[in-house]
Structure 1
Amino acid sequence: MRAFVIESGELKVKDMEEPKAKPGEVVVSLRAAGINRRDLGLPKRYGDKPDALIIGSDGAGIIESVGEGVTDFAYGDEVIINPALRWHANSDAPPPEFDILGMPDHGTFAEKIAISAGQVEKKPRYMSWEEASSLALPALTGYRALFTKGRLKKGDTLFIPGAGSGVATFLIQFAKSVGARVIVTSRSEEKCRHAKDIGADLAIATDSDWPEELAGETVDLVIDSVGAATFNRSLDVLKKGGRIVIFGATTEDNVDFNLRKFFYGQYQLFGSTMGSREELRAMLSHMESNQLRPVIDKVFPLEQAQEAFDHLASGSQFGKVVLRIRE
């Protein structure tokens, strides 16, 4: 089967042995796979190991075979992959055995994958293969950050620094679906327009004076994945006693901030990553109830996976970049 792998420090498309279902597993014939920013950093983390590793966390396809003991799924079922491995019940933090699919396990950028039956869910019927394949990791990340950690509710105002990421497009739609007000930032006027098209109430320039732009707003919750470049600026517009949730750091990891200002402001700071299977199922139900869809930026064939990576790395996308595995 064809797969996009890291091998000896290089990314390449190559033939790999087809997987077989062990007891408790299913083999999924993948139709499409969503690319996440996490995937871009895997070559550096994997290093120059000679064994080819299939990367990729998100995907959707049709069950081709089932292993011994599998009763919840059958040949021909249309499914999505849950990349949050071995995290079943909602909890304050992931269990020690938690990991993300795509390293060290073989991932989804391949024609087939063998995976535990507990890591697949029925594909939303109203979604295309490209939409369903780009769903789990970013939508689950956004859902947990927004509702489990951020406790967003109707009437709250949400502030999102950065409007174009896959997670941000889910955050906007989730927040609007429960009656919240949404404010985003972007360096791109086009991304600001796109954000408003999918529900954002206000979109401001990243390099603008945020306190001045938002002087008439009361920001209840900030969800930030940028890191050092925006953390203190976000605190400057967050209301006293407000909540800030961090799920990533695309700029520097380390942040300096004024502790006295922080505790006098009674701010609440939460970390968040991915989510449990319980939250994934709640998220899928929420999306179906509101007929929400992933925002797809561009679709590439598997053989052009490197071009897809380059496109995502450029930061020019709005929404998800997807690999089409099979028609």
Structure 2
Amino acid sequence: MKQLMNAVILTGYGGLEKLVYTQVSLPTLQPGEVLIKVGACSVNNTDINTRTGWYGADEGFQEILKNTKQNDDKKSTSWSQSGLEFPRIQGADIVGKVVELGDNVNPEILNKRVIVDPWIRKERLEKYQYVGSEVNGGFAEYVAIPASNVYPINSLLSDVELATVPCSYSTAENLLTKGRVNAKDIVLIMGASGGVGSSAVQLAKIRGATVIAIVGPNKEHLAEELGADYVYCRDDRLLSNLARHQVTVGVDVVGGEYFNIIFKTLGVGGRYVTAGAIASPMVSFDLRDLIYKDIEAIGATRFQPDVFQRLLKYIEQSLLKPRVAKVFPLSQIKEAQIFFQSKSFFGKIVIVPGEAAIANS
């Protein structure tokens, strides 16, 4: 008799029709893995980017993300610029309870509440795998994860709140780590009203930096609540507002037309660090800004375990303020992604599986 669970499977590159809520077999544990009963798992840009094949597109980026244009299947890829194996269960932000152990796993983790580091590290950077992309993720009632990526968590935060952490906060902490942000820095955060950006505001303040948050209309007060020292809206006054500051680090998850604004704002010896391009990955800029101001341009995708481990300490010290915008049941994954793409909210969109009943077939 096969054990089944509810899950959302991605059946291929394309629109929302590629997401299918169904029943699939319960994961079979490999040596070194644990089975987690998922409590919550949030939605991220990478879920949309992967589904639509955005990572390999060379035009029509926003139309592809909005499901108004089909990407060329030959150009559809994952973040690693390689194709995916379908069907795939997405979802990187996993919080839950360990209910079963594979061989060679420390038994102390059984029945523990845990949070998952989404990067599965291999011997070479190009071999790294991301949960919900190269391996199945948390848009399901249960998920199998290497025990080395699973951490018991001691926190008063709910599963829903904790599910805001793995992708957004670790991406933000990696940006700040690679940007070498410290208390002497003035940090410009472009896209500070999104999941990664709002996380970066909090984490930069923990490091003692001065934070300039750039947000969408009517979201200024939310960035202020997170501790930003200066908050500006993305409008035609942005460049003149930023001219008042001596920015040392530019943190960018937006790209597009705002890329040039960051470079123009950075001072001599500044650092530009990016982990996303939701406005557009295609930019043009004046190389003289890079050359004659001795600016460093840094990409930040993969990170080492110490980045995630710092977040665990911040959580247990109650230093983080997770923001949950809305919670959807797993069966409403399509509605959750539509709402996510509206960008009309502040915080994270979280998916919960509900009562995880395993059926027999």
Normalised to the residue count of structure 1, the TM-score between the two structures is 0.91
Q: Distance in 2 between matches of 1:298 and 1:166?
A: 13
Pair 1:12-2:20 in alignment: yes
Aligned residue identity for 1:17: S
Q: 1:85 aligns with which of 106, 109, 120?
A: 120
- Quote the residue 1:109 is aligned against: 139
CA contact (8 A) 1:182 1:202 kept: yes
Q: 2:232 aligns with which of 204, 217, 229?
A: 204
RMSD: 2.2
Q: Give CA-to-partner distance per residue, 1:301-320, whole Å, 9 cap, x none.
A: 11111111111111112111
Aligned residue identity for 1:12: V
Aligned residue identity for 2:44: N
**Identity, % of aligned positions:** 31
Unaligned runs of 5+ in 2: 55-72, 77-83, 356-361
Q: By how many angstroms is 1:287 displaced?
A: 3.7
- Quote the residue 2:358 is aligned against: none
- Quote the residue 1:226 is aligned against: 254
- Quote the residue 1:245 is aligned against: 273
Q: By how many angstroms is 1:293 displaced?
A: 2.9
Q: Distance in 1 between matches of 2:156 and 2:239?
A: 41
* Secondary structure of residue in 2 paired with 1:140: helix
Q: Give CA-to-partner distance per residue, 1:17-66, whole Å, 9 cap, x none.
A: 11132211100000110111100122233969995321111111000100
CA contact (8 A) 2:85 2:134 kept: no
Aligned residue identity for 1:102: G
Unaligned runs of 5+ in 1: 89-93
- Quote the residue 1:134 is aligned against: 164
CA contact (8 A) 2:32 2:105 kept: yes
* Secondary structure of residue in 2 paired with 1:12: strand
Q: 1:157 aligns with which of 186, 192, 196?
A: 186
Q: By how many angstroms is 1:260 displaced?
A: 2.3
CA contact (8 A) 2:189 2:214 kept: yes
CA contact (8 A) 1:221 1:243 kept: yes
* Secondary structure of residue in 2 paired with 1:41: helix
Q: Give CA-to-partner distance per residue, 1:152-189, whole Å, 9 cap, x none.
A: 11132111112221111111111112221111122312
Q: By how many angstroms is 1:116 displaced?
A: 1.1
Aligned residue identity for 1:114: A
Q: Give CA-to-partner distance per residue, 1:255-292, whole Å, 9 cap, x none.
A: 22112232111111111114222221122223433531
CA pair 110-258 structure 1, distance change in 2 beyond 3 A: same
Pair 1:188-2:217 in alignment: yes
Q: By how many angstroms is 1:111 displaced?
A: 0.2
Q: Distance in 2 between matches of 1:22 and 1:211?
A: 53
* Secondary structure of residue in 2 paired with 1:28: strand
Q: Give CA-to-partner distance per residue, 1:99-119, whole Å, 9 cap, x none.
A: 211123211100000111112
CA contact (8 A) 1:299 1:322 kept: yes
Aligned residue identity for 1:3: A
Q: By how many angstroms is 1:73 displaced?
A: 4.2
Pair 1:310-2:310 in alignment: no
- Quote the residue 1:91 is aligned against: none
Q: Distance in 2 between matches of 1:118 and 1:293?
A: 26
CA contact (8 A) 1:30 1:62 kept: yes
CA pair 264-74 structure 1, distance change in 2 beyond 3 A: closer
* Secondary structure of residue in 2 paired with 1:5: strand
- Quote the residue 2:89 is aligned against: 54
Normalised to the residue count of structure 2, the TM-score between the two structures is 0.83
